[in-house]
Structure 1
Amino acid sequence: MKTPKRIQPLVEEGLIDEVMRQLMSGKEATVYVVRSGDDIRCAKVYKEANERSFHQAVAYQEGRRVKNSRQARAMEKGTRYGRKMAEQVWQNAEVDALYRLAAAGVRVPRPYICHEGVLLMELVTGADGNAAPRLNDVELDRERALAYHAALLREVVLMLCAGVIHGDLSEYNILVDAHGPVIIDLPQAVDAAGSSVAASMLERDVTNLANFFGAFAPELQGSRYGAEIWMLYEAGLLTPDTPLTGVVAAPEGPADVGAVIHEIALARFEEEERERHQLAAQGWA
């Protein structure tokens, strides 16, 4: 196919030899299957801010900083230069998270390079050698649902031990290769130590998993793995091998009204994102 304009610089640099086909187009990027020498990879071309349906919510930006004070001021003022810097921070967040998580043993695509809004990374393939399907498109039974749920909980724990929370985890941004689930789409990754809503984001991610797999394994519905994981993390007791029960004692004392309101706002945002994911799924090829 014709080389997209945004990918052309990587072709000129010899990083990509051929653009083979478009793989998918989503809310934040378009992904292409490309050839680099003898390797088949994928190139994720981030959409411009005015073209994305996923907006950089404050909850996701919190904790992200730039070292250059001029850039930081420009970003705060929202100048043209500042918006450009904000875009770079947004895109680099995924690259940084991928390197960080891969080093921690989390099952994510291996990144190679990010150049001017194009991320070149590993193409995750299924058992048939073709591009791996999303979890939403995989046939599940109770046994497989429980196995995948347990595997993904371990990935969530590994991520948190590395200081990262996905922030938008669902059946739409998990691929399934020959060895199980692989987590993708991390530009909205949350820094566990630098975000005031980290606990809420983590619990939402884990609840999304329970809700999805609960359709095949009803015993997962109502589990509280997210709250348990965060409680262990805060207490400094969380390790990749920490056994989890999914049960947390009910809190004593008056309810935190502010926290409840915040949870409602997050739930509303989550539903809007789920609808966008469903629309984006129609573009998966």
Structure 2
Amino acid sequence: MKTPKRIQPLVEDGLVDEVLRQLMSGKEATVYVVRCGDDIRCAKVYKEASQRSFKQAAVYTEGRKTKNSRQARAMAKGSKYGREVQEEAWQNAEVDALYRLASAGVRVPVPYICFEGVLLMELLTDANGHAAPRLNDVAMSEALALDYHARLLRQVVLMLCAGMVHGDLSEYNILVDADGPVIIDLPQAVDAAANSNAGVMLERDVDNLRSYFGQFAPSLNGTQYGKEIWGLYQAGALTPDTPLSGRVKRETRPVDVRGVLREVEAVKQEEEARRRYLQDMES
């Protein structure tokens, strides 16, 4: 197929020899199958901020460190340079997360290089050597649903023990290769200790898994693994091997209204920054 414009610099630099086909397109990026010498890999081409449908970047970037104070000030002001720095940081966050999680034993694709807004990484395949399907495209029995749910809960725990929360986990960003579920799409992953919304995101990720697998395994409906996992983490009692029950004691403390308001304000700030960006693009 014709080489996409964003991948052309990688071809010119000898990092990619040939673009074979488009694999998938999502709210954050378009993924292509490419040939790199004798290897077949994926090239993830990130979409521009104005084209992304992911609207809450401010919520996810809270707590992330920038290289220097100049970049931090530029990002805060929303200047052209600041937006460029923010885009680079958003893309590099996935590369950093992939390396960090892989070293912690989490099943994620192997990253190779991120260049000019394109991430080269491992192509996951099924038992027949075909590109691994998304979880929502896999035929599911009750037994398989329980098995995959248990495996993915363990991956979520491993991620949290490594200090990270996916933040957007669902059946659409989990692939199933020859060995089972693999977690993908991590540019929005958050630092569990530095982001005040991490607990909410963790519970939402786990609730998404419960909702999906609960369609096939009704016994999962009503479980509270998300609250249990986050509670153990906050208490400093979570390890990769901590047994989980899916049950928690009833919460009697008042709702954290300030925390909810902080999240609402972060969303408002992100939308305002997006409006400014679009206005600058039009001017």
TM-score surpassing 0.5?
A: yes
**What is the Cα deviation at residue 258 of structure 1?**
4.6
The size of the alignment, in residue pairs, is 267
Q: Which position in structure 2 is the counterpart of 1:103?
A: 103
Where do 1:50-129 residues align within 5 Å?
50-129=50-129
Query: Is residue 239 of structure 1 aligned with residue 239 of structure 2?
Result: yes
SS in 2 for 1:199: helix
SS in 1 for 2:172: coil
Counterpart CA distance in 2 for 1:42 and 1:62 is: 29
Counterpart CA distance in 2 for 1:64 and 1:105 is: 23
Unaligned regions of 5+ residues in structure 1, if any? Answer: 269-285
**What is the Cα deviation at residue 207 of structure 1?**
0.3
Shift of the 32–252 alpha-carbon distance from structure 1 to 2, 3 Å rule, reads: same
Where do 1:1-285 residues align within 5 Å?
1-258=1-258
Residues 149-206 of structure 1: per-residue CA shift (max 9 Å, x gap):
0000000000001111000000000000111100000011011011001110000000
TM-score (norm 1): 0.90
Task: Please provide the CA RMSD for this pair.
Answer: 1.9
Q: Which position in structure 2 is the counterpart of 1:280?
A: none
SS in 1 for 2:181: strand
SS in 2 for 1:44: strand
Shift of the 261–55 alpha-carbon distance from structure 1 to 2, 3 Å rule, reads: closer
**What is the Cα deviation at residue 254 of structure 1?**
3.7
**What is the Cα deviation at residue 256 of structure 1?**
3.9
**What is the Cα deviation at residue 259 of structure 1?**
5.2
| Letter of the 1:34 counterpart | V
Counterpart CA distance in 1 for 2:137 and 2:255 is: 39
Contact 1:49–1:55 at 8 Å: present in 2 too?
no
Counterpart CA distance in 1 for 2:17 and 2:175 is: 25
| Letter of the 1:241 counterpart | D
With 214-223 and 140-149 compared, the bigger mean Cα shift is at 214-223
Residues 195-251 of structure 1: per-residue CA shift (max 9 Å, x gap):
001110000000000010000111111111111111111111111111000000001
**What is the Cα deviation at residue 262 of structure 1?**
7.5
**What is the Cα deviation at residue 61 of structure 1?**
1.2
Counterpart CA distance in 2 for 1:83 and 1:191 is: 21
Shift of the 106–39 alpha-carbon distance from structure 1 to 2, 3 Å rule, reads: same
Counterpart CA distance in 2 for 1:159 and 1:139 is: 26
TM-score (norm 2): 0.90
Shift of the 253–54 alpha-carbon distance from structure 1 to 2, 3 Å rule, reads: closer
Q: Which position in structure 1 is the counterpart of 2:273?
A: none
Counterpart CA distance in 2 for 1:55 and 1:183 is: 21
**What is the Cα deviation at residue 55 of structure 1?**
2.6
Counterpart CA distance in 2 for 1:141 and 1:179 is: 17
Counterpart CA distance in 2 for 1:129 and 1:241 is: 32
Residue identity (%) = 73
**What is the Cα deviation at residue 67 of structure 1?**
2.3
SS in 1 for 2:140: coil
Counterpart CA distance in 2 for 1:134 and 1:249 is: 35
Unaligned regions of 5+ residues in structure 2, if any? Answer: 268-283
